[in-house]
Structure 1
């Protein structure tokens, strides 16, 4: 919910951008009139906050934190705690989005053609069944739902246009598996835990911003990436459980 302080901050950040208000509005798929709706008490929506942060090149928390509020500490433990809380909040947002889709149907996403709402719409329409996804399949990766005792996350399929495929230069599931094998044990355990939780709960989850430096196995090239990860639990017609992983840049 916007406050007077946040409205003033948003308007200031927009004013400091070299582009016009109309150009910024178009960049986040809004009409020029959207700027006039920035008033205290209004809910701008998760997608809008994320898009505006991207366009203004500021962290999401900066758009959600009033001037004079306690800022993020440089302490890594504190930052991790904040990111965990942000992850929970964003996951709650997506659960609310899912509930709204149940109530209002296709009208909730008809005005947008971005991958995120399309994925949520598809997931809702299919009730979590892994069918009818051909038009979106090249955007996400399919991960096998971890079972008790698993030590590593196992990719079943890599989308040809997914972030992983762009980063690795291939849509080979084996290449992604080899990359995951290079992660340290703690990172692998966190990854397994996140996928298992999504699969067991049956609820979608959106991560807090992830920042990582990854060395690709095939050419030992080091790449720094910052991204979000949307996870959608699904069940194949065979009964096997998977989690769709859609990653997109911050």
Structure 2
């Protein structure tokens, strides 16, 4: 049976899981704040005493610092602390994960700034449902999303379209598909494999996917590296000839200077 995740429940789970992780790793809240790269060393303490959900970039950075999936910090502690393992069909696991991530995003989306007529994820999904994912009726939305080839061979995905007002174009300061492919070529093998897996999954299943992401953008022509945290929506779509693509629409959560260790930039 599915569980409804309210804002209060997610916040309670988040705070409880942080406390448990502090004990497990023998860390103080200040040490975890430092490990996560927060400028404010009291950030974790503030979270533990907060009455509202933080920006989604916060749990993503904490999860990275603790080397656990972000879902681990947000779900009911009983689910991953229990000694009993529940065997579920793969589709049920996917459904639960999708429900949780959607609930988390909707809860934290309230804090995101809105710029002009920029569409929300809900409006993109509504368009997709109404049109069946046909790109014939997307003139108003196309400046905000990217299209990648659905049949990825495992290398750098081919970029068919790069929306001029999308997160990729604004971050990379270019509307050229080649620039996005150039950036994708800088991803490490793990991140690139994950991206291709998501593309294939969305394309073959016919179902969309929402996931939190963090990327370090480091291209010489862009100047200093930046760490970008965002929520990515992927949807299967087709053009007028029936050619399949995967639509990529991302909402920015935060930009920051990448954390460094011994002179090296730490990449996720």
TM-score (norm 2): 0.56
Show the counterpart of 1:144. Answer: 149
Tell me the C-alpha RMSD between the 2 structures.
Answer: 3.8
Show the counterpart of 1:28. Answer: none
Show the counterpart of 2:244. Answer: 241
Partners in 1 of 2:151 and 2:9 — Cα distance? 41
Deviation, 1:129, is: 1.6
Does the C-alpha gap of structure 1 residues 93 and 80 become closer, same or farther in structure 2, counting only changes over 3 Å?
Answer: closer
Does the C-alpha gap of structure 1 residues 137 and 7 become closer, same or farther in structure 2, counting only changes over 3 Å?
Answer: closer
Alpha carbons 1:142, 1:158 under 8 Å: kept: yes
TM-score (norm 1): 0.60
Show the counterpart of 1:23. Answer: none
Alpha carbons 1:180, 1:188 under 8 Å: kept: yes
Partners in 2 of 1:197 and 1:246 — Cα distance? 16
Alpha carbons 1:94, 1:204 under 8 Å: kept: no
1:87-131 deviations in Å (ceiling 9; x for gaps): 8646347999xxxxxxxxxxxxxxxx8421211111011112222
| Residue 82 in structure 1 maps to residue 79 in structure 2 | no
For 1:57-206, list aligned pairs within 5 A.
57=55, 74-76=65-67, 78-79=68-69, 82=72, 89=96, 91-92=98-99, 114-147=119-152, 149-206=153-210
Partners in 2 of 1:195 and 1:248 — Cα distance? 18
> Any gaps of 5 or more consecutive residues in structure 1?
10-51, 63-70, 97-112
Show the counterpart of 1:32. Answer: none
Deviation, 1:218, is: 3.0
> Any gaps of 5 or more consecutive residues in structure 2?
13-51, 76-92, 104-117, 254-268
Does the C-alpha gap of structure 1 residues 84 and 115 become closer, same or farther in structure 2, counting only changes over 3 Å?
Answer: same
Alpha carbons 2:119, 2:141 under 8 Å: kept: no
Deviation, 1:57, is: 3.6
Count of matched residue pairs: 180
1:189-222 deviations in Å (ceiling 9; x for gaps): 1111111100000001101x21221113533531
Deviation, 1:183, is: 1.0
